[in-house]
Structure 1
Amino acid sequence: MEIKIGVTGWGDHDSLYPERIHSSKKLRQYCNHFPIVEIDSSYYSIMPKSNYQKWVNHTTSDFSFVVKAYGGITGHARQNYSKEEQIKLLKPFLDSIQPLIENNKLKGVLFQFPPWFNCKKENVEFLRTIKNELTSVPAILEFRNQSWFFPQYADQTLSFMSEEGWIHSICDEPQAGMGSIPTVLHPTNKELTLIRFHGRNVYGWNHNGQENWREVRYLYRYNREELCEWVDKLETLSRHTKEVCILFNNNSGGDAANNAKELMKLLGIEFGPSSTEQLELF
């Protein structure tokens, strides 16, 4: 099993960069540390193709991106889109990421659904419709409502994901009631599984809406023991999927990059592009 480890975004991880590096140089430098990154700016708006082309140009040939789907598609937008309007947003979103697809740098599109997207027939059909529109795009699915993994639904949820071709986004996150999901070590795609580390800050997770909630929600540093737990878990996953991509999202306090490197060390993963792939920083 191949394992690739990275973090969400590349701009806020101060430990990775020289003190005075310009923001436009950070992605080039990031490639010297990790082989994959999650683009989350795509969640807030449908960006122009030129943004993605620039990121293609700034990365090494074997680098890859997980792109977080636009929030209007997954029901996060402030606009009250109908389901039909959400589906229509797929086309401009997919058009925008074509440079990643054409340059073989798209690892997958992450569809993260909100806590109010619960397990019911209407939402199952919506997922099926979205997947039918995606054709050859690797589609990753992450829930934020616990009902999908209630005992009476968990097997059906996982079977549905397998049958429809969804890649499972397995989460390490606070166990904080209905708005969180358990860690379910069940790949639904034999080629790829995604794992996202959100931290275990129960207080921050449950205080969505407070003035500083974005600052505290992912404020968490994994200790060595917690990361060691995942060494065995990854061994379990290795029997069922060819590749695992791991993204650390616990960056409210700047901990993601350090935790990612610590897990790489525990797993014996050494990373760094060859001298011919080193990208100029200045």
Structure 2
Amino acid sequence: MDIRIGTAGWSIPPRHADLYPAEGSHLERYAALFDTVEINSSFYRPHRRTTYVRWADTVPETFRFSVKFPRTITHEHKLADTDELIAAFLDGVTGLRQKLGPLLIQLPPRLVFDHHRVAHFMETLRAQFDGALACEPRHPSWASDAAEDLLRDYQVARVDADPAVIPVINRTSSNAPLHYIRLHGAPEIYVSAYDDAFIAALANRIEKLDAPVWCIFDNTAWGAASDDGRRLKAALTARIQK
């Protein structure tokens, strides 16, 4: 089963430091426990290609990075007139080489689905990148059949987010190229840890999915993500070994 579990960023909260090895950089220590990480800092600022190369050289061969699209593309330009910005972003992230996983396109809550705009963006992106893509739209207009068809045409998975901003599209479709799950924490977003019942139900759901799974805990504000990820790994391991 192709299931990857990780957190948004690789910071190690002091209260969970004992989950990780004592020696090494934060990324080296993180990679001893998890096999993937979501790079969120790329949303706020560009990183040099050499930085991505260094990160890739730091982790084991089986480790994979997902990378969040810059806000200049998604929030400032709103996917329009982004040809040069896409090229610059891809020039950097491809420094991860074979350790590059999905690119995450998180859209602003007010971005209405515009077929022409989105199709041009996807066409430009796909002309330069044939890897995995996941999109997290947050405006109700993206619940339309037209949006679903367009994403399917370009082999883009919908993000399955918790809490769901748009409940009608919360679940990734069964024919998706991958399942990308982002867990922001509930009831308090980015803060709350998930209880054992939620983790058990999530493990049960993941086990039944029919495509590669990336599960990212984004409830990092107070460090809950590390322990939640560890508990999910343990729950899935127990189910698979039965």
> What interval of TM-score do these two structures reach, taking the shorter chain for normalisation?
0.7 to 0.9
**1:15, distance to aligned residue in structure 2 (A):** 4.4
1:195 matched residue in structure 2: 181
**1:65, distance to aligned residue in structure 2 (A):** 0.1
1:62 matched residue in structure 2: 62
Q: 1:144 to 1:99 in 2, by over 3 A?
A: same
**1:26, distance to aligned residue in structure 2 (A):** 0.6
2:216 to 244, 247, 252: 247
Query: Which of 1 and 2 has greater Rg?
Result: 1
Q: Does the aligned pair in 1 maintain the 2:35–2:64 contact within 8 Å?
A: yes
* Residue pairs, 1:89-238, within 5 angstroms: 89-101=85-97, 104-149=98-143, 153=144, 155-173=145-163, 175=164, 180-182=165-167, 183-190=170-177, 192-201=178-187, 217-238=189-210
**1:187, distance to aligned residue in structure 2 (A):** 4.4
The code of the aligned residue for 2:237 comes to G
Residue 216 of structure 2 aligns to a residue whose secondary structure is strand
**1:171, distance to aligned residue in structure 2 (A):** 1.1
Q: 1:57 to 1:114 in 2, by over 3 A?
A: same
Distance in 1, matches of 2:113 and 2:200, equals 32
Q: Between Structure 1 and Structure 2, which shows a larger proportion of helix residues?
A: 2
Distance in 2, matches of 1:254 and 1:227, equals 16
The code of the aligned residue for 1:53 comes to V
1:9 matched residue in structure 2: 9
The code of the aligned residue for 2:14 comes to D
Percent identity over the alignment is 25
Q: 1:130 to 1:184 in 2, by over 3 A?
A: farther
Q: Does the aligned pair in 2 maintain the 1:17–1:26 contact within 8 Å?
A: no
Task: Tell me the matched-pair count.
Answer: 236
Q: 1:15 to 1:64 in 2, by over 3 A?
A: farther
Distance in 2, matches of 1:141 and 1:24, equals 33
Distance in 2, matches of 1:197 and 1:3, equals 15
Q: 1:157 to 1:82 in 2, by over 3 A?
A: closer
Q: Does the aligned pair in 1 maintain the 2:159–2:180 contact within 8 Å?
A: yes
Deviations 1:165-201 (A, max 9, x none): 113321122x5xxxx12221414533x2211111123
2:80 to 67, 70, 83: 83
Q: Does the aligned pair in 1 maintain the 2:184–2:190 contact within 8 Å?
A: yes
What RMSD over aligned residues (CA atoms) do the two structures have, in Å? 2.7
The code of the aligned residue for 1:90 comes to I
Deviations 1:247-277 (A, max 9, x none): 100111210010111111111169xxxxxxx
Deviations 1:134-178 (A, max 9, x none): 4323222111223312xxx1x4433322211113321122x5xxx
Distance in 1, matches of 2:23 and 2:50, equals 17
Distance in 1, matches of 2:36 and 2:129, equals 23
Distance in 1, matches of 2:155 and 2:117, equals 16
> TM-score, normalization: structure 2?
0.86
Structure showing greater relative contact order (alpha-carbon pairs closer than 8 Å, 6 or more residues apart): 1
Residue 245 of structure 1 aligns to a residue whose secondary structure is strand
